[in-house]
Structure 1
Amino acid sequence: MTILSRFLWLATVLMFATGAAQPVQAFNLPAGAKLRAEERDDAGRATIATERFNGEAVPSIVAEGQIVRQAWKVDGTSQTSFQILLGLRDQLIQDGFDILFQCQSVSCGGYDFRFGVGHFKAPDMFVDLGDYHYLSARKEGQLTSVLVSRSKEAAFIEVLQLNPEDSAASKAPAISAQTAVRIPSSGPIGALLENNGRTVLDGLSFATGSSELTDGNVPVLNELATYLNRNPEREIILVGHTDAEGSLAGNVTLSRKRATAVMNSLIQQYEVNPAQLSAEGVGFLMPLTPNLTAEGREMNRRVEAVLISTD
């Protein structure tokens, strides 16, 4: 850990150590860690995930107290995101914290979980939707969560730390059950991507078992193409989804083909730069609604756009 990063952590500790309150947890971060963003609140509210995405929301608790949120970037590290998380996890355990929940991208619930947690956005905090790790921990009234991911060149760490306003042992912070609200898909597509990180591409229609778009003239693709053509530095992943009819392997392949069909339409019909686009598929693992009705299955046959730019 560099002198600068250690100093910034200690400065945060001193700012928030008032009276008998315990200081926030000070991590030894990987060498070269640089603070990219920080927010502090003496009397704030923070949400901590306690379970994986359950199909509708991320089960969480909310606590009130002194809050520190920080985003760190570690350039040039050879450590994987999992190795970084394990190092921070060991430090928490050694300091007496109990681990409430830990997961990696797939077991967390993919991008639905990622967009239900975390506070900072790119370029301060980059999250690879296929390679991120999360944990939450508690020590008496103190709560901590850590989100770790990496790009090809750097690792990114987001830390949330909360101390109760009154840290006396006999009084725990006010904690109540809370679940994250699903991200709406209405509104200008550029604003949805830059504020929420993703959006459902409404108006696309796929028949069961087919990767062919049933309508070649889709307003949302025109809107998305306009946004991308006006912002050539932006990149997105198109993520395909299916209903639950058929095998998982077959549906993952089909969902990828659907995302690819949308990508090809954007390139061929709307002249979007191919370098701004990629396509993936997750099958029926991330439904918007139960597959018990024809209407539900139609809703689940969709493609979403996920913004992956870090600058």
Structure 2
Amino acid sequence: MVRIFRPAILAASFASAPLIAGALDLPAGAKLRADDTQSTGRATLAIARFDGDSVPTIAAEGQVLRQAWKVDGTSQTSFQVLVSLRDQMITDGFDILLQCQSVSCGGYDFRFEVGYFNAPDMYVDLGDYHYLSARKGDEFASFLVSRSKEAAFIELLQVSPAGSSATNAAVPRARPTVTERAVPSGPLGTQLETNGRTVLSGLRFATGSSQLTEEDVPILAELAKYLAQNPDRQIILVGHTDAEGSLDGNVALSRKRAASVKDSLIKLYGVNPAQLAAQGVGYLMPLAANLTPEGRELNRRVEAVLTSTN
């Protein structure tokens, strides 16, 4: 675990941010990727899901701390990370204003009205993120939690009253190393039935092509098994691209790639065609900014979206 002490990053006179009685425990391996502090500032926290026009918020003024953390190597799901943070907040006397996950928050529309940092410091999977906001008197905090294939990401917002007692602790202190038992992230079926969608990791396409470069793909075998065990479930395969090239061209390519995955599931893995459909959205739903090679690689993907309603 990593212990975050209330920082005074601007100067020794910057007042402490009273969170979890001075510290917050994060999963082992958490590393600070970015931070921003204001001795006097204003921030907004979401208090309800996207209502069709905007995300309802509450404004908080005072000392503002924002941090982005990356947790390499953890097998914890984004929900498990969020629950640990939530429980610590409740223990410290905070009242939860809002807790939601990607679908219940409002998906794409909610995510792009909350959050401060961008990739690579903060990665957000639009189908697998969790948000929480909380309040204790004049203190406010929020968390945005998501994960990539390899790591979890946490964005923290903390607002505390002006005039809180200062501290010089500016660097998180690692607790003594202990062996942490890995928590299973759950099978593909659990991800589908919890989040409504999952990224099909391990797919490889030739550059500019819709053909898979490998026939034996473990994630497709897992999806085929799930569909065979649940013959009443239907899936839409949704292709996504980076932002290089025209929108029309990318939509067409993403649809072809999704169709290629569909064909493989039917021909190679014996999936019932009635359980599958294929669509493409090009670069309209990125997981990360397209400004870096890493971001563009994350955006090139095919997802499985569960469309069954019972």
Q: TM-score interval w.r.t. the shorter chain?
A: 0.5 to 0.7
Residue 126 in structure 1 maps to residue 123 in structure 2: yes
Residue 105 in structure 1 maps to residue 138 in structure 2: no
Select which of 110, 114, 118 maps to 2:111.
114
Unaligned runs of 5+ in 2: 166-206, 209-233, 260-280, 289-293, 296-310
Residue 306 in structure 1 maps to residue 285 in structure 2: yes
What's the CA shift for 1:90?
0.5
Contact 1:14–1:23 (CA under 8 A) maintained in structure 2 = no
Q: Secondary structure at the match of 2:284?
A: strand
* Two-structure CA RMSD over aligned residues (Å): 3.9
Structure-1 residue corresponding to 2:7: 12
Contact 1:81–1:149 (CA under 8 A) maintained in structure 2 = yes
Tell me the amino acid that sits aligned with residue 121 of structure 1: N
Unaligned runs of 5+ in 1: 169-227, 230-251, 281-301
Q: Which runs of 4+ in 1 moved over 6 A?
A: 14-17, 259-263, 266-269, 275-280
Structure-2 residue corresponding to 1:59: 56
- Pairing of 1:213-232 with structure 2 (within 5 A): none
Evaluate the alpha carbon distance shift between residue 261 and residue 93 of structure 1 in structure 2; reply closer, same or farther with a 3 A threshold: closer
Contact 2:67–2:156 (CA under 8 A) maintained in structure 1 = yes
Evaluate the alpha carbon distance shift between residue 118 and residue 277 of structure 1 in structure 2; reply closer, same or farther with a 3 A threshold: farther
Contact 1:66–1:164 (CA under 8 A) maintained in structure 2 = yes
CA distance in 2, matches of 1:153, 1:262: 20
CA distance in 1, matches of 2:72, 2:161: 33
Structure-2 residue corresponding to 1:29: 26
CA distance in 2, matches of 1:49, 1:90: 19
CA distance in 1, matches of 2:250, 2:157: 42
- Pairing of 1:1-311 with structure 2 (within 5 A): 1-2=1-2, 6=3, 9-10=4-5, 12=7, 23-25=18-20, 26-166=23-163, 270=249, 305-309=284-288, 310-311=294-295
CA distance in 2, matches of 1:137, 1:104: 15
Evaluate the alpha carbon distance shift between residue 274 and residue 75 of structure 1 in structure 2; reply closer, same or farther with a 3 A threshold: farther
Evaluate the alpha carbon distance shift between residue 52 and residue 272 of structure 1 in structure 2; reply closer, same or farther with a 3 A threshold: closer
Tell me the amino acid that sits aligned with residue 137 of structure 2: E
Evaluate the alpha carbon distance shift between residue 163 and residue 135 of structure 1 in structure 2; reply closer, same or farther with a 3 A threshold: same
What's the CA shift for 1:308?
2.4
Contact 2:102–2:127 (CA under 8 A) maintained in structure 1 = yes
Count of residue correspondences: 198
TM-score by length of 1: 0.54
TM-score by length of 2: 0.55
Tell me the amino acid that sits aligned with residue 86 of structure 1: V
Identity in percent: 56
